[in-house]
């Protein structure tokens, strides 16, 4: 979750959505995101809405990994009430964080049972859990699989100890590979790894080493993110003080190209700017929902939701969140009901990030003129354009923001 | 010179009766001004005089009573002159009228100083007893001596622990040629010595000696536009009388106007029946624009006009030019209105529309000097709520082309191509610098670097020196004063006056983006400095202009010769790495902001340059030079 919540209008106490949001509910993909706001330690680069036990205060704090699942289950009930009686089977569930695996394994089963009870889990639903390599072991992975989790995503970040140290990651470099092996043994056919490139001090060779190490574990999915220095993090402070160099855009561009080549060679194809998968079935269906205008309900402190053109986000602090839920109130902090123009901008912005691209027909007249120019400049594929779509080339992917600006003129 | 004691004027001014405007004998009038450097306490002294003469009670008193504009009070300087009538019981028991004519202290306004001086018979030379005389004060003192004014030297701030009255009294005595014992010592802050000063003004300043029976002749020494009252014209009656009942005639234009109001300032405007010879006051004539009641013009009676006007002043010519543009192009109409309004009050400001490919629509403005420029800009921004960009200031050049034609260049963009130029003449100034003698070396070094030639040097006292140089005005415009201050730890003061022109090896440096000249950055510099300017500007722009999808060369050129080059590498990556559920709103807003920013960008060739880059580049230009 981003550090700075955007402004917006107030959410009604009962969380009721405008009629425009509820129209067509169930016709779009529906997913549930469960945010788990706990971490064992805080990493220096991370600005996610997560808290260590020390940050949450002494015993008796309003929220703990033990008491959290009941709050999640309560918000699932609220979601059902707000969405009314429409048939909205849940096609994807994503446990993100934070560190979801700090919850007791039984919690996953209980939460999934609540989702199934209120909405019904669609047949073949994708259920992803994020995990830190250090936070799981073989037994835990068996338990997660047994609880109904179908896909594991491990935060590997790097295979190079010096890089991991700058990121404050505590795991041992060999650990992600073992996690991936254990996961497959436990019955997970979908295993994903996250990598970060451009960490201060990382060399081109370091990055290649991380890529090969990741590919060597045989994942069917990989996410690689350029390190973003978020304001307010320890990393940002260290860069400001001159202790670490800031990431260089040209270096990041080179790393991205290296990633795309290595991953392609290993049979992983890009399907979103920062995501590669072994095939259509390996792409993360939950995230695809975000990028294709699907509906989802985000549960937990700071979680964002989107239903039919209304976006809202929950109060950020776990204690505030718990107080709202326990009072039977919506934890929604603020929301925005998107205008048609905003929806258009988002659609183009998100579709352009995908390998499927954006249909030329979805663009306005100025955008269509720009599309031709973008193709002529080599930023989008001529072949795809001939077939009526704007699909970014490798170079174009790195400049997706400028292209989006131009296509939404 | 004196009016006969039988005149009714005198009877009205006998003890116990306050002399009324229009009926005050010249023998009882003392017209004086105060010459002082900024911060030497002129406004505080004026405040004490207002209190001691009883025209302002303690309750009404506010600091710097006579400084009316906010900007004057904030900066502690006087921009427009003021004249205030003070009744004063002399030591001889007679009731006198003292007219205090306030003068601006800064060099840019020496023109306003000289017109104030013309309305006076005496001048209080006010000098900080802890600082000694400053260059601008010395320049104004010379103006006053040239105008044959009686000088009353006064040391102020004698209450300060750092005051050295004996030392600076000796210095002043040496400059004016008097005995150090004749230098008065006051503290405007505590009021100590101010009463004695007022008595000395009565004793030493000669009374006016106009012809009270001749046709009226009044010298306009200031014209101020007032939103409610129209143009208020400040005059010094030299001969005859002006009354409310007579139409007035402006002698330079021959235009006649109804006289709507005559009065004096004491300290607020107070209407009167008329003004008599020797008096100072104001006229309101229904004139709508300060240009119709021009400073230096003579006002006479339409019914009984004078034959000859008084000697006026030469109109000030703008010496420094700069382009002013609204940051937001949509504000252009409001900007134009604001300039038109300011002109009502500032006869020295000139402007004409100009268009810049980089900055849009604006005006090329002419100013008396850098402070004038700064103040105009600040007043425009403050009074109209606009934000403005100014191009770096330049002098006026006279270019003779090979074909013998003469071109006056006030905008570097209009500088002819070097191949067609036969000669270029640049304006020169005569600069006077006063500083502690320890800094002679560093000051001379600075002046030599700036193409100066030494005229002479004099010790004002054992350890203070006056250094005189001729320098190109362009060198003074380019942060000379800042440099001087920093190299002398603030101890040096500077004054300059126009001193003709010289032929010089000047070139125009153009800054090119992808081969397209950016007009706002063109600058006329000495050939020897062209490369430094080019390097500084190209480096600065490289930092300020965002990377584009293609490589952008930034070049500095003199004619077709490239003298400096930088390259902005092509932008390869702008995309945020991750974009999940919670990132979408933030990312959309970022894109919306980016699009909005792009709409406000100026396109030079194919290069998109944000307005902020121009603002930053122009505002730090002087800073570059300062570091060198």
What integer pLDDT is reported at residue B313 of this predicted model?
66
B573 and A253 within 8 Å at the Cβ level: the answer is yes
Which residues of chain A register pLDDT less than 50?
1-5
Binning pLDDT at 50, 70 and 90, where does residue B69 land?
A: low
Residues in B touching A274 (Cβ below 8 Å): 577-579
User: Closest approach of chain A CAs to the CA of B415, in angstroms?
Assistant: 39
For chain B, list residues whose CB is within 8 angstroms of any CB belonging to chain A. Answer: 549, 569, 571-592, 594-595, 598
Q: What is the pLDDT of residue B451?
A: 94
Rounded mean pLDDT, B27-54: 89
The answer to whether the CB atoms of B581 and A274 lie below 8 A apart is no
Q: Number of C-alpha atoms within 13 angstroms, CB side, residue A150?
A: 16
**Cβ atoms < 10 Å from Cβ of B11:** 12
Measured in angstroms, the CA of A199 and the nearest CA of chain B are apart by 13
Q: Which of A33, A256, A400 sits opposite B581 (nearest CB)?
A: A33
Rounded distance between C-alpha atoms, residue B181 and residue B166, angstroms: 9
> Which residues of B fall within a CB distance of 8 Å from A4?
586
Alpha carbon of A390: minimum distance to chain B alpha carbons (Å): 17
Mean pLDDT (whole number) for B480-490: 86
Contact check, Cβ <8 Å, B594/A405 = yes
Q: Which residues of B touch A273 (CB under 8 A)?
A: 575, 577, 579
Kindly report, residue by residue over B618-628, the tens digit of the pLDDT. 865 544 443 33
Residue ranges and CATH numbers for the domains of chain A are: 19-291 (3.20.20.70), 339-409 (no CATH)
Residue B577: is its pLDDT beyond 80? no
Q: Do B585 and A408 touch (CB under 8 A)?
A: no
Instruction: Look at residue A186 in the predicted model and tell me its pLDDT.
Output: 97
* Contact in structure between B367 and B373 (CB atoms under 8 Å): yes
* % residues pLDDT > 90 (chain B): 48
Q: What is the mean pLDDT of residues B353-375?
A: 87
Distance CA A162, CA A200 (A): 10
Which of A228, A256, A291 minimises the CB distance to B576? Answer: A228
End-to-end alpha carbon distance in chain A:
29
Q: Is the pLDDT of residue B1 over 70?
A: no
For the stretch B76-113, pLDDT in tens is 544 455 688 999 998 888 999 999 987 654 445 556 66
What is the rounded average pLDDT of the residues B278-305? 86
Least Cα distance to B112 among B86, B138, B143, B84 occurs for B143
Mean pLDDT to the nearest integer, B397-422: 92
User: Is the pLDDT score of B339 beyond 70?
Assistant: yes
- pLDDT at B28 exceeding the cut of 80: yes
More confidently predicted of B398 and B63? B398
The answer to whether A250 contacts B572, with C-beta atoms less than 8 Å apart, is yes
Torsion over CA: A211, A214, A217, A223 (sign): negative
pLDDT, position B5:
35
Measured between alpha carbons, how far is residue B63 from residues A16, A63, B313, B512 in Å?
A: 61, 61, 32, 51
Check pLDDT > 90 for residue B229.
no
Pairwise pLDDT comparison (B63 vs B547), residue with the higher score: B547
From chain A, pick out residues whose CB is under 8 angstroms from the CB of B590: 401
Q: Is the pLDDT of residue B288 over 90?
A: no
Residue B613 bridge partners (DSSP): none
Q: Are B573 and A226 inside 8 Å of each other by CB? A: yes
The pLDDT score that the predictor gives to residue B19 is: 78
| Cβ neighbours for B155, distance < 8 A, ≥ 6 positions apart | B127, B128, B129, B163, B165, B168, B169, B172, B183, B184, B185, B186
CA distances from A110 to A70, A71, A128, A146, A149 (A): 9, 12, 15, 12, 12
* Interface contact flag, A250 B573, Cβ < 8 Å: yes
Is the pLDDT score of B573 beyond 70?
A: yes
Q: Give the DSSP H or E segment for A339.
A: none
Alpha carbons B262 and B272: distance in angstroms, whole number: 6
Per DSSP, the three-state class of A114 is helix
Task: Reply yes or no on whether the pLDDT at B608 is more than 70.
Answer: yes
Higher pLDDT residue, A342 or B229?
A: A342
Contact A400 B578 (CB under 8 A): no
Closest residue of chain A to B593, computed from CA coordinates? A405
pLDDT digits (tens, 9 = 90+) for B410-464: 999 899 988 899 999 999 999 999 999 999 999 999 999 999 999 999 998 888 8
Burial of A152 (0-12, 13-18, 19+ CB in 10 A): buried
Best B568, B571, B581, B592 residue to mutate vs chain A (most A CBs within 10 Å) = B581
| B578: nearest CB among A225, A253, A336 | A225
Supply the pLDDT for residue A59. Answer: 54
**Which pLDDT belongs to residue B12?**
33
Q: What percent of chain B has pLDDT above 70?
A: 89
Distance CA(A73)–CA(A96), nearest Å, equals 16
pLDDT at B111: 60
Residues of B in contact with A397 (CB under 8 A): 575
Identity of the residue in B569, B589, B591 whose CB atom sits nearest the CB atom of A404: B591
Across residues B317-336, what is the average pLDDT? 89
Please give the backbone phi and psi of residue A329, each rounded to the nearest 5 degrees, phi first.
-100, 160
Provide the Cα torsion B552, B553, B554, B555; round to 10°: -160
Residues of B in contact with A291 (CB under 8 A): 579
Pairs across A and B, CB distance < 8 A: 105
> What are the φ/ψ torsions at residue A406 (nearest 5 degrees)?
-70, -40
The model's confidence at residue B6, banded by pLDDT at 50, 70 and 90, is very low
Convert the pLDDT of each residue in B368-392 to its tens digit. 887 788 888 888 988 888 888 888 8
| Alpha helices (H) along A168-233 | 175-185, 204-216
ipTM: 0.91
Distance from CA of A300 to the nearest CA of B (A): 12
**Which chain B residues contact residue A246 at CB under 8 A?**
none
Residue B23: pLDDT band with limits 50, 70, 90: confident
Compute the C-alpha angle A254/A256/A258, nearest 5°: 70
Contact residues, chain A, for B578 at CB < 8 Å: 223, 225, 228, 274
CB-CB contact of B34 with B124 (8 Å): yes
A97, A251, A401: which to substitute to probe chain B, counting the most B Cβ within 10 Å?
Answer: A401
Average pLDDT estimate for B282-286: 88
Q: Quick one: closest CA in A to B589, which residue?
A: A6
**Measured between CB atoms, which of B572, B577, B589 is closest to A6?**
B589
Q: CA–CA separation, B214 vs B304, rounded Å?
A: 9
Give the nearest partner residue to B591 out of A256, A313, A345, using CB atoms. A345
- Output B463 or B12, whichever has higher pLDDT: B463
Q: What are the distances in angstroms from CA B34 to CA B49, B77, B101, B153, B456?
A: 12, 13, 7, 10, 28
Chain segment B161-176, per-residue pLDDT in tens: 999 999 999 999 988 8
Are residues B464 and B435 in contact, defined by beta-carbon separation less than 8 angstroms? yes
Cβ-defined contact of B581 to A377 (cutoff 8 Å): no
Q: In chain A, which residues have their Cβ closer than 8 Å to the Cβ of B581?
A: 33, 290, 296, 298, 303-306
- What separation in angstroms does the CA of A368 have from each of A17, A363, A372, A402, B394? 34, 6, 7, 15, 47
């Amino acid at each position: 979750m981003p550090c700075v919540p955007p402004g917006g209008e107030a959410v009604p106490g009962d969380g009721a959505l405008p009629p425009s949001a509820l129209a067509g509910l169930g016709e779009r993909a529906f997913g549930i995101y469960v945010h788990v706001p706990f971490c064992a330690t805080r990493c220096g680069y991370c600005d996610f809405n997560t808290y260590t036990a020390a940050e949450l205060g002494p015993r008796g704090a309003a929220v703990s990994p033990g008491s959290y699942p009941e709050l999640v289950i309560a918000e699932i009930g609220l979601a059902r009430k707000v969405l009314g009686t429409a048939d909205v089977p849940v096609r994807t569930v994503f446990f993100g964080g934070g560190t979801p695996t700090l919850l007791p394994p039984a919690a996953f089963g209980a939460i999934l049972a609540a989702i199934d009870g209120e909405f019904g889990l669609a047949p073949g639903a994708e259920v992803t859990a994020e995990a830190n390599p250090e936070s799981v072991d073989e037994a835990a992975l068996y338990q997660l699989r047994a609880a109904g989790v179908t896909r594991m995503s491990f935060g590997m970040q790097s295979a190079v100890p010096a890089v991991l140290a700058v990121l404050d990651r505590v795991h041992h470099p060999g650990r992600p590979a073992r996690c991936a092996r254990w996961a497959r043994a436990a019955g997970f056919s979908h295993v994903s790894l996250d990598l970060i490139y451009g960490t201060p001090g990382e060399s081109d060779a370091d990055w290649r080493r991380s890529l090969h190490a990741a590919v060597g574990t045989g994942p069917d999915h990989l996410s690689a993110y350029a390190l973003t220095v978020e304001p307010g993090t320890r990393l940002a402070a260290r860069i400001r003080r001159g202790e670490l160099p800031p990431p260089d855009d040209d270096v990041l561009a080179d790393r991205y190209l290296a990633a795309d080549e290595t991953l392609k060679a290993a049979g992983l194809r890009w399907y979103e700017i920062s995501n590669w998968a072994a095939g259509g079935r390996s792409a993360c269906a939950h995230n695809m929902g975000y990028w294709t205008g699907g509906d989802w309900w985000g549960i937990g402190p700071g979680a964002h939701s989107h239903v039919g053109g209304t976006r809202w986000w929950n109060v950020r602090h776990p204690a505030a969140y718990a107080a709202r839920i326990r009072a039977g109130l919506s934890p929604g902090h603020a929301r925005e009901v998107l205008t048609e123009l905003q929806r258009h901008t988002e659609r183009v912005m998100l579709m352009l990030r995908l390998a499927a691209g954006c249909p030329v027909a979805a663009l306005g007249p100025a955008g269509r003129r720009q599309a031709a120019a973008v193709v002529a400049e080599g930023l989008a594929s001529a072949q795809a354009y001939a077939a009526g779509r704007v699909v970014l080339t490798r170079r174009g992917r790195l400049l997706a923001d400028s292209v989006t600006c131009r296509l939404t003129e | 010179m004196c009016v006969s004691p039988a005149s009714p004027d005198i009877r009205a001014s006998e003890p116990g009766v306050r002399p009324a405007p229009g009926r005050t004998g010249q023998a009882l009038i003392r017209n004086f001004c105060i010459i002082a450097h900024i911060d030497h306490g002129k406004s505080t002294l004026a405040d004490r005089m207002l209190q001691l003469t009883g025209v302002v009670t303690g309750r009404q008193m506010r600091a710097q009573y006579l400084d009316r504009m906010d900007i004057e009070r904030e900066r502690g300087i006087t921009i427009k002159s003021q004249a205030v009538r003070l009744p004063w019981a002399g030591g001889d028991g007679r009731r006198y009228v003292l007219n205090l004519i306030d003068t601006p202290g800064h060099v840019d306004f020496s023109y306003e100083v000289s017109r104030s001086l013309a309305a006076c018979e005496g001048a209080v030379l006010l000098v900080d007893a802890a600082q000694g005389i400053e260059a601008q004060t010395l320049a104004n003192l010379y103006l006053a001596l040239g105008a044959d004014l009686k000088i009353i030297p006064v040391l102020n701030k004698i209450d300060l622990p750092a005051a050295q009255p004996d030392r600076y009294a000796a210095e002043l005595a040496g400059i004016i040629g008097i005995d150090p014992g004749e230098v008065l010592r006051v503290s405007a802050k505590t009021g100590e010595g101010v009463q004695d000063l007022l008595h000395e003004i009565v004793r030493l300043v000669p009374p006016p000696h106009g012809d009270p029976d001749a046709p009226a002749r009044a010298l306009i020494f200031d014209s101020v536009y007032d939103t409610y009252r129209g143009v208020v014209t400040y005059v010094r009656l030299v001969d005859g009388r002006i009354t409310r009942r007579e139409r007035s005639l402006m002698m330079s234009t021959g235009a006649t106007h109804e006289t709507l109001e005559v009065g004096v300032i004491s300290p607020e405007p107070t209407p009167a029946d008329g003004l008599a010879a020797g008096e100072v006051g104001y006229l309101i004539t229904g004139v709508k624009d300060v240009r119709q009641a021009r400073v230096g013009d003579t006002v006479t009676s339409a019914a009984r006009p004078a034959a000859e006007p008084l000697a006026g002043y030469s109109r000030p010519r703008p010496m420094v030019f700069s382009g002013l543009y609204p940051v937001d192009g949509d504000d252009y109409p409001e900007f134009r209105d604001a300039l038109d309004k300011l002109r009502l009050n500032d006869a020295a400001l000139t402007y004409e529309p100009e268009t810049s490919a980089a900055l849009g629509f604006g005006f090329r403005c002419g100013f008396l000097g850098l402070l004038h420029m700064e103040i105009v800009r600040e007043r425009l921004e403050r009074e109209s709520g606009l934000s403005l960009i100014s191009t770096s200031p330049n002098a006026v050049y006279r270019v003779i082309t090979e074909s013998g034609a003469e071109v006056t260049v006030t905008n570097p963009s209009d500088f002819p191509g070097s191949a067609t130029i036969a000669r270029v003449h640049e304006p020169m100034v005569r600069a006077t610098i006063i500083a502690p003698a320890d800094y002679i070396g560093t000051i001379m070094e600075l002046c030599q670097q700036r193409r100066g030639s030494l005229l002479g040097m004099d010790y004002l006292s054992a350890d203070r020196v006056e250094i005189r140089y001729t320098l190109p005005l362009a060198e003074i415009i380019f942060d000379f004063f800042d440099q001087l201050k920093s190299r002398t730890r603030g101890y040096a003061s500077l004054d300059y006056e126009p001193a003709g022109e010289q032929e010089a090896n000047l070139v125009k440096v153009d800054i090119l983006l992808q081969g397209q000249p950016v007009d706002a950055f063109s600058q006329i510099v000495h050939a020897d400095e062209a490369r430094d300017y080019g390097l500084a500007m190209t480096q600065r722009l490289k930092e300020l202009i965002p990377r584009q999808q293609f490589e952008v060369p930034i070049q500095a050129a003199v004619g077709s010769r490239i003298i400096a080059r930088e390259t902005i590498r092509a932008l390869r990556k702008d995309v945020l790495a991750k974009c999940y559920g919670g990132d979408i709103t933030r990312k959309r807003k970022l894109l919306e902001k980016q699009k909005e920013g792009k709409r406000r960008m100026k396109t030079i060739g194919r290069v998109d340059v944000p307005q902020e880059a121009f603002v930053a580049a122009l505002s730090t230009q002087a800073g570059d030079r300062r570091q060198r």
